[in-house]
Structure 1
Amino acid sequence: MTTSGRLSGKEVALHNSRDSCWIIVHGHVYDVTEFLDDHPGGSRIILKYAGKDATQEYDPIHPPDAITTNLPKEKHLGPVDPETVEKVEVKITDQEKERQLRVAARPSLDEILNLHDFEAIARLVMAEKAWAYYSSAADDEITNRENHFAYHRIWFRPRILRNVAKVDWSTTILGNPSSMPVYITATALGKLGHPEGELNLTRAAAKHGVIQMIPTLASCSFDEIVDAAQPGQVQFLQLYVNNDRNITKRIVQHAEQRGIKGLFITVDAPQLGRREKDMRMKFEADDPSEVSKSGSEGVDRSQGAARAISSFIDPSLEWADISWFKAITKMPLILKGVQTWEDALMAYDAGLAGIVLSNHGGRQLDFARSGIEILVEVVSKLGEKRGVKFPNEKFQLFVDGGVRRATDVLKAVALGATAVGIGRPFLYAFSAYGQEGVEKGLQILHGEFEMNLRLLGAPTIKDVVPEMVDASNVSSHASNVPGDKLYENNYVGMESVRLRGAKL
């Protein structure tokens, strides 16, 4: 101990092995020795910082309160004297220097005309690991592309000679006002793209009157995100159900106490899909000497960031659990990840508030159908089986995946969706330009809504009806559709395995 009552960095540095592993996070020391083998990302990453300050590595992939919440109190060893801490040398590689030059050479926001542009810039300025995590999808990434291309199989039937001098694209989502039929859907690890992480989304959403869905696996803590909201700002929570239901209950009830207006329970992730772009990032570094010294055969690095942060998800979640959720909260319950009309019907019969027709952004089961295709099926079958018409205030349908234009949203609305979730484009926007990028993206969507409502002959969102679209070809997967050059130019195919150091 130092005279200030703080631990000395020299003392912490002695605990740098698998047998005794202390780390420093945000100026406090933690004994993580017994936690090494339980860490979702493996012991390697912790041992790399054994006896040192791990804050820099910790921040992008953990909420600030993750370590204090998950580690027993007796393992919280107290504050450290910052003057005595061994500084972890941060080496700026040539690759990073080149990236920083590209950041400095970004075009101004005035030159960004659509959501595709953000992706093009983000691809150039993001760190490679972050780009791999955000852009990756399951297996051959067929579903990832299909999510977008499915909208190309739906065509408009615009009406003419209607008074569209004034158009209004505002709506309500689960009874809450929204400036457009769009919400910012949950996406994990915001700090991989920007130091402010999900707070970029919170602040931009407030300014533009849209709803943010807070992810379970945010880089910022839940309370940090809620605290950043403006008075009256509406937020939803996306929930991965924990193996420990007491933890889930605590999260849900805390969210309700903080004023969250909807609980979106993810139901399409009993196991995380193989996202090979993300997984490639694990091939680069050798195990640190501490792992070798321990006699271990090494850490399995083949699963990528997605697996590293998601090992707690309960694969036993089932329909019978819906009654338990109803017993612990009065928030509207929505199932996120419904992919068939049969499950949509079960959700309707279970008295849920709605469903999200989604395949997890193409990141789970490859060759799962797009949300927009499932929407057509669900509206038809629930109408046939239960006489339900959509949009429906009591049972709302949402869609996410592949949306890049207001025209995509309007197609979904015409077919019965209440609103559409947009995820990756906003990640790319703040990765490239911070909060201002997200605001620009929302401004672009507002402009597109105004123009397209006029061209459709629809003064309001309620005037966007099924007769305005032709979706007869939506389920024809083998049909020819027009190419989308902007989207295709941004898509980066998956690399095959390479020889180390070889230039091929």
Structure 2
Amino acid sequence: MFVEEIATHNSAESCWLIIDGKVYDLTDFLDEHPGGKKIILKHAGTDATAEFDKFHPRDTLNFLAPECCIGEVEDPENLPQTEEEEVVDDSTEEERVAEEARLDRIAHKPDLSKIINLYDFEAVARTTMDPNGFAYYSSGTEDEITLRENHNAFKRVYFNPRVLVDVTDVDQTTTMLGSPAATPLYISATAMGKIGHEDGELALARAAGTTGIIQMVPNLGLFGFDEIVDAAQPDQPLWFQLYVNRNKEIVKRIVRAAETRGVKALFVTVDAPHVGKREKDMRSKFLAGRSDSDDNGNHGDGDKKTSALIDTALTWKDVAWFRSITSMKIVLKGIQTVQDAVLAVQHHADGIVISNHGGRQLETVRAPIEVLADVNAYFKQHPEILAGKQFEMFIDGGVRRGSDVLKAICLGARGVGLGRALLYAMAGYGQEGVEKAVAILKDEIVMCMRLLGVTSLNQLDESYVDLAALKGGRGSSGGALFDNVYEPMGVVKFKARL
């Protein structure tokens, strides 16, 4: 195909784009693009490679139906030279002052040696990150009750320590889904890592390797899957998180590519058939002029755009289909009830992640640690459910302390995932920040194990925790440190006077 012909397909009726020398017909994809159709139409009929690379890893193209790629550019020498757009500073004086203050805070942020807990990382990120980026990382759905409760619930689980036990030698190593880990932590899949630090998911992969924990590679990172895997050490165990595309051939291609690269387990996200209403993020987009909503603030086409990436018809029968296309372990990420935990076992999943997507999906659901307590109790009461099965439970959401990790282990979790907490560490200090965060948690875990009177994780069970306050104190504070770093939600602002 020739450049002159491609240039004529520059409208919503026929929309072609060039990306990396290949021609894509995106006419039928316009209304489904999660970022809206305006940005695609702006570059219709032209080489959009540079703009595409700003916001997507190259393997995002794998989500398109194969028939979208209709050919290659036969005369690339005729492509117009890309000129850098002139950057126009249209910020207000107030915004310029705020940005200067932010840059000053970056220059004077605490040395990494001064960081003593994970709340410190969040405090640094809150004051040094671009406000829009921090809004994306920190936002929860609607009133953020679930987001706060995820953390607060851990503080209502109390320990029953044992004394006069020889705890000289403490071992926190474990295995998760057959892979060794230095501690029962893993890096949970999170999107948009690069908005916090230029190395994004690569920094997380490298830190996982140096600290001996497992990374769950995200389906929607800003680095491509192969780039992230290449950043890991050769023998480093990796998991892969998947949003299920409605086109099963695309899913099959992605899953098999992950297995070919040596990924050990497939984590299928099951709690996101529709994106939650994350108002901090929405408001920051309005203020930055990046919202795809209309003038009335309507965003009702979100379900249509989400459907472009996520199969809203996903059901339990699809677990068997995944089993038919891969030999990787299959874990369902986003289980929130005892009933669904039992169904996961019955449908031969290898494990579950009890999670509410970090409080970013349905509002006022129960905290994962509370659900875990109920699931663990039910399985104890009905041992026949797990008899003869290798089934592992994981949990994520609200974890900030080594004590949180051990509470989950006491209640039957095999491992605990951290998402935001490590993004904040990365945002402020890169790979070294993530390594420091993991080191802090490891030290706290050893301390708590000694004070509990245990020397290995397999000695922990529900007898080491008191759950009397867990359900009765919903809505209580998660402690002064959490309250200090939590970014309160705002309301709409009035227009500035001219």
Assess if the C-alpha contact under 8 Å between 1:42 and 1:300 holds in 2: no
Q: Provide the C-alpha distance between the structure 1 equivalents of 2:10 and 2:287, rounded to a whole number of angstroms.
A: 23
Assess if the C-alpha contact under 8 Å between 1:239 and 1:264 holds in 2: yes
Q: Tell which deviates more after alignment, 414-423 or 16-25.
A: 16-25
Find the counterpart in structure 1 of residue 104 from structure 2. Answer: 101
The CA deviation at 1:42 is 0.7
Segments of 5+ residues of structure 2 without an aligned counterpart are none
Find the counterpart in structure 1 of residue 344 from structure 2. Answer: 347
Q: Provide the C-alpha distance between the structure 2 equivalents of 1:485 and 1:376, rounded to a whole number of angstroms.
A: 25
Find the counterpart in structure 2 of residue 375 from structure 1. Answer: 372
Counterpart check, 1:73 vs 2:69: yes
Superposed CA deviations along residues 199-234 of structure 1, whole A, max 9, x for unmatched, are 111000000100000111111111111121111100
Within the candidate set 238, 248, 255, 1:235 is matched to 238
Find the counterpart in structure 2 of residue 460 from structure 1. Answer: 456
Counterpart check, 1:42 vs 2:36: yes
Task: Give 1:318's aligned amino acid.
Answer: T
1:19–1:325 Cα change, 3 Å: closer
Superposed CA deviations along residues 85-115 of structure 1, whole A, max 9, x for unmatched, are 2211234652544433322221111111111
Find the counterpart in structure 2 of residue 213 from structure 1. Answer: 216
Counterpart check, 1:363 vs 2:360: yes
Within the candidate set 308, 311, 316, 1:314 is matched to 311
Find the counterpart in structure 2 of residue 473 from structure 1. Answer: 469
Q: Tell which deviates more after alignment, 140-149 or 217-226.
A: 217-226
Superposed CA deviations along residues 351-396 of structure 1, whole A, max 9, x for unmatched, are 2111111111111111110111011111111222334679x97111
Assess if the C-alpha contact under 8 Å between 2:191 and 2:218 holds in 1: yes
* 1:169-318 matches, cutoff 5 A: 169-284=172-287, 302=299, 311-318=308-315
1:204–1:135 Cα change, 3 Å: same
Assess if the C-alpha contact under 8 Å between 1:279 and 1:302 holds in 2: no
* 1:386-397 matches, cutoff 5 A: 386-387=383-384, 394-397=390-393
Task: Give 1:183's aligned amino acid.
Answer: Y
Within the candidate set 427, 430, 436, 1:440 is matched to 436
Find the counterpart in structure 2 of residue 425 from structure 1. Answer: 421
Q: Provide the C-alpha distance between the structure 2 equivalents of 1:80 and 1:441, rounded to a whole number of angstroms.
A: 50
The CA deviation at 1:38 is 3.7
Q: Tell which deviates more after alignment, 315-324 or 40-49.
A: 40-49
Q: Provide the C-alpha distance between the structure 2 equivalents of 1:215 and 1:431, rounded to a whole number of angstroms.
A: 17
Assess if the C-alpha contact under 8 Å between 1:153 and 1:474 holds in 2: yes
Q: Provide the C-alpha distance between the structure 2 equivalents of 1:411 and 1:242, rounded to a whole number of angstroms.
A: 35
Q: Tell which deviates more after alignment, 361-370 or 37-46.
A: 37-46
Q: Provide the C-alpha distance between the structure 2 equivalents of 1:254 and 1:174, rounded to a whole number of angstroms.
A: 20
CA RMSD of aligned residues (A): 3.4
Q: Provide the C-alpha distance between the structure 1 equivalents of 2:80 and 2:441, rounded to a whole number of angstroms.
A: 49
Counterpart check, 1:407 vs 2:380: no
1:214–1:502 Cα change, 3 Å: farther
Find the counterpart in structure 1 of residue 491 from structure 2. Answer: 496
The CA deviation at 1:304 is 11
Task: Give 1:108's aligned amino acid.
Answer: D
Task: Give 1:353's aligned amino acid.
Answer: D
The CA deviation at 1:300 is 7.2
The CA deviation at 1:454 is 1.3
The CA deviation at 1:184 is 0.5
Assess if the C-alpha contact under 8 Å between 2:119 and 2:481 holds in 1: yes
Assess if the C-alpha contact under 8 Å between 2:158 and 2:466 holds in 1: yes
SS at match of 1:361: helix
Q: Tell which deviates more after alignment, 392-401 or 51-60.
A: 51-60
Percent identity over the alignment?
47
Assess if the C-alpha contact under 8 Å between 1:52 and 1:86 holds in 2: no
1:250–1:387 Cα change, 3 Å: same
Q: Provide the C-alpha distance between the structure 2 equivalents of 1:454 and 1:411, rounded to a whole number of angstroms.
A: 14
Assess if the C-alpha contact under 8 Å between 2:3 and 2:79 holds in 1: no
- TM-score normalized by the length of structure 2: 0.88
The CA deviation at 1:330 is 1.2
Task: Give 2:390's aligned amino acid.
Answer: K
Task: Give 1:454's aligned amino acid.
Answer: R
Q: Provide the C-alpha distance between the structure 2 equivalents of 1:164 and 1:407, rounded to a whole number of angstroms.
A: 17
SS at match of 2:309: coil
Assess if the C-alpha contact under 8 Å between 1:40 and 1:311 holds in 2: yes
Number of residues of Structure 1 aligned to a counterpart in Structure 2: 488
Task: Give 1:466's aligned amino acid.
Answer: E
Q: Provide the C-alpha distance between the structure 2 equivalents of 1:457 and 1:202, rounded to a whole number of angstroms.
A: 33
Q: Provide the C-alpha distance between the structure 1 equivalents of 2:266 and 2:124, rounded to a whole number of angstroms.
A: 33
Task: Give 1:146's aligned amino acid.
Answer: E
The CA deviation at 1:65 is 2.9
Find the counterpart in structure 1 of residue 382 from structure 2. Answer: 385
Assess if the C-alpha contact under 8 Å between 2:156 and 2:473 holds in 1: no
